[in-house]
A = this chain, B = another copy of it.
Amino acid sequence: MRLRTSTSETFGVEMIKVGIVGGTGYTGVELLRLLAMHPEVTVTQITSRAEAGRGVSELYGSLRGHFDLAFSEPDPQKLAECDLVFFATPNGTAMQMAPGLLEAGARVIDLAADFRLKDTALWEKWYGMPHACPDVLAQAVYGLPELNREQIRGARIVANPGCYPTAAALGFLPLVEQGLVGTGNLVADCKSGVSGAGRGASTSMLMGEVGESFKAYAAAGHRHMPEIHQTLSWVSDSAVGLTFVPHLVPMIRGIHATLYATLVDSTADLQGLFTQRYADEPFVDVLPAGSHPETRSVRGVNHCRIAVHRPQGGNVVVVLSVIDNLTKGAAGQAIQNMNLMFGLDERRGLDQVALLP
């Protein structure tokens, strides 16, 4: 097989030099998959202590022919040569390295949780460690473009949202922004494919354990709850009360959020509200009334598809919101944020069609 000759090379365009820290997990390989199809990016470094020296396509056969790159030890000085560094690392890593990189002039997108909660004390409570750089946290922009597009354009560091928070926030936003629902008793019943748990060795995520079965987890409290709470509180006039229960679905990719709220204005045109709210959004697709989005309709793409229901015409509104947890829920949204930060068309490199069936 000949190495791919880029069919989309753009003469005269200066490529964005990108580094990826912690590239062996599912978020890392998804970044590589998408960046391979991005016409204005060159991945110059990808780090992994465990796999240093090994070719990325040795680890991920799907990348054969697309990357001639090997994992390397993370080296702050070399990383600082990048225009942008993505962190696809466990929580707690990016906050150690980000200050130096920013100082050196690189920009940063953290796909982990280090910069997601603006309240340092709250962050420390839910993540169980002291925060290494509260000052950087203060300047980080929460990277949900549908909420913070303009701030993202100017950001030096972006906190890429969590997967559940992306699906839940996009479904709740139109209702809460307009004050149409009681915010004291919101319910987000969310379901995720197994890739959300990452690629670390474990017994609990073996196919023999999670295949052909379904369960809730972390019903007592999950770190994505305060994140969703924070987003909704930003746009709500009243206090937010949220119950969030995540579940594990025996499939690989996909998140489905089923959201419940009680209408305070029963005359609202919900379909019109959602359609209008997202009319100009390239990656949010409001389905026709009566629809039920399937996770497979966004498999591998950066879209969120949403339907809104009002069962039996009552006062409860049910929003169904689906994303691919690795794409709009992680790597795709990170690239969307990158496009904004570097002045590119937001959709650049993200115009694939979902893999169905």
Known contacts A63-B353, A199-B206: A215-B293 contact under CB 8 Å: yes
Tell me the bound Cα distance from A347 to B65 in angstroms.
13
Contacts of A26 in B (CB 8 A): 208, 357
Candidates B1, B191, B220; contact of A247 at CB < 8 Å: B191
Size band of the interface chain A makes with B: 35 or more
Docked Cα-Cα span, A1 to B297, in Å, equals 15
> With a CB–CB cut-off of 8 A, which chain B residues contact A1?
278, 281-286, 303
Q: Are A305 and B61 in contact (CB under 8 A)?
A: yes
Contact of A185 among B249, B287, B316, B353 (CB under 8 A): B316
How many copies, total? 4
The reply to whether B220 and A290 form a contact with Cβ atoms under 8 Å apart is: yes
Q: Is the CB of A4 within 8 A of B351?
A: yes
In the assembled complex, A258 has its CB within 8 A of some CB on chain B: yes
Give the residue name and chain of the B residue nearest to A24 (CB).
Answer: B203
- CB closest chain-B residue, reference A34: B353
A211 cross-chain contacts in B, Cβ below 8 A: 194, 207, 211-212, 250-252, 357
- A323 nearest CB across to chain B (Å): 12
CA distance A29 to B354 in the complex (A): 11
* A355: nearest chain-B partner, CB-CB: B300
Shortest CB distance A133–B (Å): 28
Interchain Cβ contacts under 8 Å between A and B, 19 examples? A1-B281, A1-B286, A7-B345, A29-B357, A33-B353, A36-B353, A61-B356, A62-B353, A62-B355, A201-B201, A205-B208, A211-B211, A212-B212, A212-B299, A214-B251, A219-B309, A220-B290, A220-B309, A220-B311
Besides A33-B354, A33-B356, A243-B260, 9 other A-B contacts (C-beta < 8 A): A1-B303, A8-B8, A36-B353, A37-B351, A209-B357, A213-B294, A215-B320, A216-B320, A221-B311
